[in-house]
Amino acid sequence: MEQITTSLAPPRSSQKVGVPGSTSDASGSVTKRLSSELMQLMMSSSPGISAFPKSDANLFEWVGTIEGPTGTVYSGLTFKISINFPPNYPYVAPTIKFDSQCYHPNVDLNSGAICLDILQDKWSAVYSVQTILLSLQSLLGEPNNASPLNPEAAGLWKSPSEFKAKLMSTYSPASA
C-alpha cells in the first residue's frame, strides 16, 4: 500500500512542473510514446518479460514481471518490478526498482534499487521498456560484481549453492 501511494505521487506532481501550455502537448507525446511502447511490448511476446500500466488512469506507472533466465540460479523465480516514467521520458530514464525482494549483487535487497548503467548515465532515448526489461533479465544471470549494491551477494556469487540458499531465504513468490 505504501508503495502505491508513494509511487503515485511523483509523476503527478512532476507533471505539473514545467511551462504551462506546453505541458499537455509534451505529456501528449509522452503518452503516445508510452502507448506505442506498450503495444510493441505486448506484440513482441519476448519470453519471461512483461509489463503493464498499473491503472488505466495513469500511463506513467507500470508494473513489470521478470522471470529468471533458465540456466541461472534465478531460473523458475519471478520478480515484480515497478516502473515510473518521468514526464520528460524518453529523454530521462524511467525509475525502476524491484518490488519483490531480490537477492542480487546489483540490487539493494531492501529498497529494491537497481544498479544498471543504462538506467543511469548510459540511458538513451532509443531504449524502451522492452530493452530495459531484457537488460534486467540478463542482469539476473550476469551480475556486474564490480559495482555491487549488495556486497554480500557479490561475495557469494562465486559459490552458487550458498548463493542459492541465501536467495531462496529472501525470495517470496510474486503474487498479486
Partner 1 sequence: MTTTATPAVLAFVEDKWQEAFSNLNHHQPGISGLMTLSKAWKIAADFLRPRPLSQPRPKYNPVEVKMAFDVLGQTRLLYTVLENFLDDMHQQEYLIKHEVEEYMSKYEETDDPRIIAQLVNRLVEWFNAWHPLAEYDSSSVPDLWLADSQDDAPKSLGHVVTDHFTVAFHTHIYSILPPSFSRGFKVLVASTLPISDDMSDNVKLDQSAWESFFALGLVERYESLIASVCYEHIEGYIRKTCEGKWSEKMLTGMREWMTKKMVPWMCLPYARGAKNSEEAGKMMSGVGSRFDYHVCKVLCDLRTSEIFDMIVDFPDSKPALEDLKECLHRVDQRSNLVSTLRKANKKRLLHPGADTKDILTQYVSIIKCLRVVDPPGVLLYKVADPIRRYLRDRPDTIRCIVADLVGDGENGTSLVDDNDPLVPLVSRDVEDYTDVTWEPEPLDAGPDFRANKPGDIVSTLVSIYESKDLFVKELQVLLAQRLLNVTDGNYEKERRNIEILKVRFGEAALQVCEVMLRDMTDSRRIDQHVQSQKPSLLHPIIISRHFWPTLQTGTFTLPSRLRAVQEEYAREYTAFKPDKKLVWLSHMGTVKIEVELQDRTLEVDVPPVSAAIVELFSERDRWSVDELIAQMGRIDRPSVSKGLLVLVDLGILKEEETDNYRLLEIAEEPSSEPGAVPASRSAISMDELPGAQTAQQQQAEQVRMYWKFIEGMLTNLGLLPLDRIQTMLKFAPGYDRSIEQLGMYMEAARREGLVVAKDGMWRLNR
Residues in contact with partner 1 by CB under 8 A are 35, 38-39, 41-43, 45, 50-56, 59, 62-65, 80, 175-176
Q: How much of the chain is in helix, strand and coil states, percent to nearest 5?
A: 40, 20, 40
Note if 115 is an active site residue: yes
Q: Whose Cβ is closer to partner 1: residue 81's or residue 116's?
A: 81
Q: Which of 59, 115, 136, 156 does the annotation list as catalytic?
A: 115
Residue pair 20/97 in contact by the 8 Å Cβ criterion:
no
What is the C-alpha to C-alpha distance for residues 31 and 68, in angstroms, rounded to an integer? 30
Q: Minimum CB separation from partner 1 for residue 62, in Å? A: 8
Other CB atoms within a 10 A radius of the CB of residue 101 amount to 16
Nearest distance from residue 41's CB to partner 1, in Å? 7
- Reading the block at residue 125, the C-alpha cell is 532515448
Q: Which is nearer to partner 1, 39 or 168 (CB)?
A: 39
